[in-house]
Amino acid sequence: MQSASEQPEQPEHAYPDHWEADVVLRDGGTARIRPITADDADRLVGFYEHVSDESKYYRFFAPYPRLSAKDVHRFTHHDFVDRVGLAATIGDDFIATVRYDRIAPDGRPASAPADEAEVAFLVQDAHQGRGVASALLEHIAAVARERGIRRFAAEVLPANTKMIKVFTDAGYTQKRSFEDGSVRLHLDLEPTDRSMAVQRAREQRAEARSVQRLLAPGSVAVIGVGRAPGGVGRTVLRNLLTAGYRGTVHAVNKNLGEGPHTLEGVPAHRGLADIGEPVDLAIVAVPADQVPAAVADCGEHGVRGLVVLSAGYAESGAEGRERQRALVRQARSYGMRIIGPNAFGIINTAEAVRLNASLAPQMPAAGRIGLFAQSGAIGIALLAGLHRHGAGVSSFISAGNRADVSGNDLLQHWYDDPATDVVLLYLESIGNPRKFTRLARRTAAVKPVVVVKGARHSGSAPPGHRVPVTRVPYATVSALLRQAGVIRVDTITELVDTGLLLADQPLPAGPRVAILGNSESLGLLAYDACLTEGLRPQRPLDLTTGATPDDFRAALAAALADDGCDAVVVTAIPRVGEDGAGEGGGEGGRGTSRGVDVLAAALRAAVAAAPGPAKPVVVVHVEMGALAEALSAVTRTRPTGTASVAVAPPQAVAPAPTPTPALVPEPAAPRAAADSAVPVPVPAAEPTTPGAIPAYPAAERAVRALAESVRYADWRRRSATDPGRVPEFDRIDESAAAGLIARVLRTRDAHARGVTLDCDETTDLLGHYGIRVLPTLPAPAPTRPSGPPPASVSRSRSRPPRPICATAPTSAASGSTWPPRGSCAPRTPNSPRPSASPRSSSPSSRRWCRAASTPSSAPPSTPPSAPCSPSAWRVPPPNCSATCPTGWSPPPTGTPPTSSVPSAPRPSSSAGAARRPSTRPRSKSCCCGSPGSSTTIPRSSRSPSNRWSSRRAVCPCSAPASASPRPALTRHRPRPAPPPLLLIGAAGPGPPVRGS
């Protein structure tokens, strides 16, 4: 047996840094997965010493107390192709390892093209049950597929049930056998629907749990609380206490002296080490240069998550970006997740938590809306808008630069959060668009997701957001979001309006809308808005301005009972009584009279008594702000979450109601196994009794929100339950296609831009993928005259003159025409632009026109003799045929090269005699005659109403003989020519046939 130093050296390969990844574990913590290198020898030895003897026995099938030098060398030296090792690390320590060795069919070490490998895991006992092995299996399988390995083989002792479960729950196709007292497993690494579902289920549970740990901590420490009133740290501490946080609160200020201290009535400490109990969440409010020391203190004392309010990171320039990357690396090395930096804070309104770890001075009301904003200013505006409408939130997160926790993590959390029915997102950047679309589609299938996207047209990421900049047009992004079921709106106002409707009203069954109210004009505005948004409104029902609350109730009850409507819009203005006094207006439109409360009660009573399926109802009011408040002041009856996680009792000094242990809502997705379960969608429960009726001060706002609800409901009925299937084709031969490509690359010089396939190769390649190519039919070659071209024709011009062809109306006096009917002549670059002929009822009237200016890439050396069609001609050659079709004719016989020919006289009108036409000699090179000939254009043919046309007729000098002539031109704007048909494959002997 060779020693470690005697083993042959393996070929060196570059370190695959793209295999490094940060993963979220089942309990919400984080770990980093990376390849094992030769520098990890000491870490491997230290890791092995912390593994129990039982785990060592399961790994090596025998007592193995320590690793030899040969083992350490073998486990740390890899070629990253046939032998690969990965480690899961927290900080600088290994917590688990996995490796594979490529093997031959007989089980001996092998190299490519062998496509099977033996895999083995080892996890420290302290980290077993956190999903580390499942995460390692996903990553090592991806690495193996990249290196051409298609199957894993594993040998496991029957007593090692945990490891057997990891393989079984992975979702891969597997075979199991029992040999020599061990279980032999063979896994096919080709991803399956079940394996992908398992991976996404593990990802969802882990990321949702990590967010849950941030939103429901048992204890909070505010780092950076100043001794003087004011400041960010002191403000957050006061907001925590004012909100009635149910857990314990600590203040940290490193500048405090010896002895006990209190700030805002809670114990204050110089560091986390002085607290003496675990801390789940730390709010960091110190200058940016002091944050690394605070993070290190948190990591060493087991803090699970951080909310970094400090600024001065990526939003401040290159130095700040590097500081932000270092912050993320440092936090992840301790297994902590970060909200921020430059964050506004987080809020959880659950009665069992009551967490306001933000700069918001007031705790929002509890509600059914989950709110995420990347901007603190926009977050404040959203909270204020919801508060004005009497709506509340379940949780709120302002992520700032979102260096770690992003909107994707919140979607994972809200997906099965029983306290959230509607998700509102303000996004300025999307770090992982593919993942966001997948998560948004899955979440939208069970609850609405409304998004407003900032920085839509800037073409760059906002300051502080280190994401790839996409050049995809916003219209494409919008269409992609709508296809995923996301409700995309344009403004913050629309975001609030749509969220209010979706939070408390059921989804409509269709686009039919009933409109009723005591204002005919307001009803017409609502009617027009419905038509604009693509809805199907009924004729508005006018109850007149003297309508009473009972009239509203009766009309609304009738509309809700009508099977012909799916939603109702109620319009209301202050009622005018018999004495002329308005009811419900109040000072400033707030409406404090009893009539407003009676009207709100009547509307709620009609909704509550409505038979059949529930229908959404929205109210449009004018100067009746109190009506909106009265309609929103109802008790929401949607089910709340169940309690499962205990939270520590509050301190005596904290202003909490009672010091009894509280319970925190926990995601309640049913699952049968820890790793194999696929998340079961938890549909948002509809209200068992009517909730708040949203009221809007403008008909357009109410109808727009209703239209978004209609479109979302339609998507949910049609697409949410059937996301589609990827088709499978039987006529695909990938191996044959790969062989063809390899053969072409071997036989030709492969440049950086690739090689060009000929017609047969292109047809064969597409045929291997089941694409049938129609044969390419070349156009017949035009016949050429036998005689040489005129000597005066220049062959050195790279761009031939653009021909100008014209005819004039028949002379009223003599019946002759000039130029001769159908003559054509090429226009020289310096020749003046001709004018059009006047309007004439004569069938022989013609118009001036010019040919296309596209130069010919390869003009023929001799002019063709066959007639040609203007409809098929595109590029003028340097010479023209003397034979022209109908509508084109050569110059008159005997015309000298340079002459002045009088034009036809202008037809006289009833108002006066004909004017004497003027002539303008112009030198032309006729495409159908000898070059250098002179023609004369009559001035009478230039009329103000018939000037030079932008339409371009073409000279018929190079088209094939079989083409049909161009129809007569008209004065109307021509229809654009159809685009040429793109033919796949190489061109044949002649030019390819083009058609529409």
The mean pLDDT value for 744-768 works out to: 82
pLDDT of residue 612: 82
CATH of the domain at 116: 3.40.630.30
Q: Is 90 exceeded by the pLDDT of residue 992? A: no
pLDDT of residue 596: 86
Is position 582 within any domain? no
Determine which of 52-61, 439-448, 576-585 has the lowest per-residue pLDDT on average: 576-585
Residues 490 and 621 in one domain: no
Q: Is 80 exceeded by the pLDDT of residue 418? A: yes
Contact criterion met (CB below 8 Å) for 287 and 308:
no
The mean pLDDT value for 287-303 works out to: 94
The DSSP bridge partners found for residue 266 are 263
pLDDT of residue 936: 40
Query: Which of 827, 831, 817, 783 is closest to 889 using CA atoms?
Result: 817
pLDDT of residue 539: 95
Q: Do you know the residue count of the chain?
A: 996
Residues 165 and 252 in one domain: no
Residues 226 and 136 in one domain: no
Is position 665 within any domain? no
Q: CB pairs under 8 A, 24+ apart, for 321-326?
A: 321/466, 323/288, 324/401, 324/403, 324/464, 324/466, 325/466, 326/292
75 or 915, greater pLDDT:
75
What is the per-residue pLDDT across 217-249, written as a single tens digit (0 to 9) for each?
A: 999 999 999 988 889 999 999 999 999 999 999
Residues 221 and 175 in one domain: no
What is the per-residue pLDDT across 111-149, written as a single tens digit (0 to 9) for each?
A: 988 999 999 999 999 999 999 999 999 999 999 999 999
Mean of per-residue pLDDT scores for the chain? 76
pLDDT of residue 90: 92
pLDDT of residue 258: 81
Cα 403 from Cα 291, distance rounded (Å)? 15
What is the per-residue pLDDT across 273-292, written as a single tens digit (0 to 9) for each?
A: 999 899 999 999 999 999 99
The residue from 478, 503, 528 where one domain ends is: 503
Is position 612 within any domain? yes
pLDDT of residue 457: 60
Residues 232 and 374 in one domain: yes
pTM: 0.67
551 or 630, greater pLDDT:
551
- Say what percent of the chain tops pLDDT 90: 49
Query: Which of 531, 450, 524, 526 is closest to 493 using CA atoms?
Result: 450
Residues 290 and 426 in one domain: yes
Q: Is 50 exceeded by the pLDDT of residue 560? A: yes
CATH of the domain at 527: 3.40.50.261
pLDDT of residue 465: 52
817 or 468, greater pLDDT:
468
C-beta atoms surrounding 455 within 10 Å: 15
Is position 894 within any domain? no
What is the per-residue pLDDT across 918-940, written as a single tens digit (0 to 9) for each?
A: 444 444 444 444 444 444 444 44
pLDDT of residue 628: 79
pLDDT-derived band at 677, boundaries 50, 70, 90: very low
Tokens of 601: 């009660």
Q: Is 90 exceeded by the pLDDT of residue 331? A: yes
Residues 236 and 372 in one domain: yes
pLDDT of residue 976: 52
pLDDT of residue 458: 55
Residues 257 and 366 in one domain: yes
DSSP one-letter string for 321-365: HHHHHHHHHHHHHTT-EEE-SS--EEEE--TTT-EEEES-SSPPP
Cα 708 from Cα 716, distance rounded (Å)? 12
The mean pLDDT value for 399-417 works out to: 92
**Which of the given ranges, 64-78, 817-831, 934-948, has the highest pLDDT on average?**
64-78
Cα 596 from Cα 575, distance rounded (Å)? 9
Determine which of 15-19, 672-676, 827-831, 987-991 has the lowest per-residue pLDDT on average: 672-676
pLDDT of residue 44: 95
pLDDT of residue 692: 85
Residues 486 and 532 in one domain: no
The residue from 158, 190, 222 where one domain ends is: 190
pLDDT of residue 750: 60
**Which of the given ranges, 96-100, 316-320, 607-611, has the highest pLDDT on average?**
96-100
Residues 275 and 345 in one domain: yes
Cα 398 from Cα 876, distance rounded (Å)? 65
pLDDT of residue 746: 83
pLDDT of residue 745: 85
What is the per-residue pLDDT across 528-537, written as a single tens digit (0 to 9) for each?
A: 999 999 999 9
What is the per-residue pLDDT across 590-646, written as a single tens digit (0 to 9) for each?
A: 444 577 889 999 999 999 998 888 999 999 998 777 787 788 765 443 433 333 333
Q: Please enumerate in sequence order all residues whose Cβ is within 8 A of that of 239, keeping only pairs 6 or more positions apart, or say none.
A: 356, 357, 358, 359, 360, 361, 363
- Domain with 344 in it: 208-503
Is position 270 within any domain? yes
Q: Is 80 exceeded by the pLDDT of residue 829? A: no
pLDDT of residue 123: 96
The mean pLDDT value for 400-410 works out to: 91
Determine which of 520-524, 561-565, 811-815 has the lowest per-residue pLDDT on average: 811-815
Q: Is 70 exceeded by the pLDDT of residue 845? A: no
Contact criterion met (CB below 8 Å) for 364 and 496:
no
Phi, psi of 936, deg, nearest 5? -125, 130
Q: Is 90 exceeded by the pLDDT of residue 397? A: yes
The mean pLDDT value for 34-53 works out to: 94
The residue from 503, 520, 546 where one domain ends is: 503
Q: Is 70 exceeded by the pLDDT of residue 49? A: yes
Tally of structural domains, the chain: 4
Residues 498 and 510 in one domain: no
CA distances from 667 to 206, 643, 664 (A): 11, 10, 10
pLDDT of residue 751: 63
Sign of CA dihedral 357, 362, 367, 370: negative
CA distances from 933 to 820, 824, 878, 942 (A): 14, 12, 15, 22
Is position 330 within any domain? yes
Q: Is 80 exceeded by the pLDDT of residue 94? A: yes
The mean pLDDT value for 756-780 works out to: 87
Residues 80 and 135 in one domain: yes
The mean pLDDT value for 186-208 works out to: 91
Is position 411 within any domain? yes
471 or 720, greater pLDDT:
720
C-beta atoms surrounding 170 within 10 Å: 24
The mean pLDDT value for 68-79 works out to: 94
Sheet holding 281-284, edge to edge: 261-263, 266-269, 248-252, 219-223, 281-284, 305-308, 337-339
Is position 801 within any domain? no
Q: Please enumerate in sequence order all residues whose Cβ is within 8 A of that of 398, keeping only pairs 6 or more positions apart, or say none.
A: 343, 344, 345, 346, 358, 372, 373, 374, 375, 376, 379
The mean pLDDT value for 794-809 works out to: 44
Q: Please enumerate in sequence order all residues whose Cβ is within 8 A of that of 718, keeping only pairs 6 or more positions apart, or say none.
A: none
The mean pLDDT value for 551-567 works out to: 95
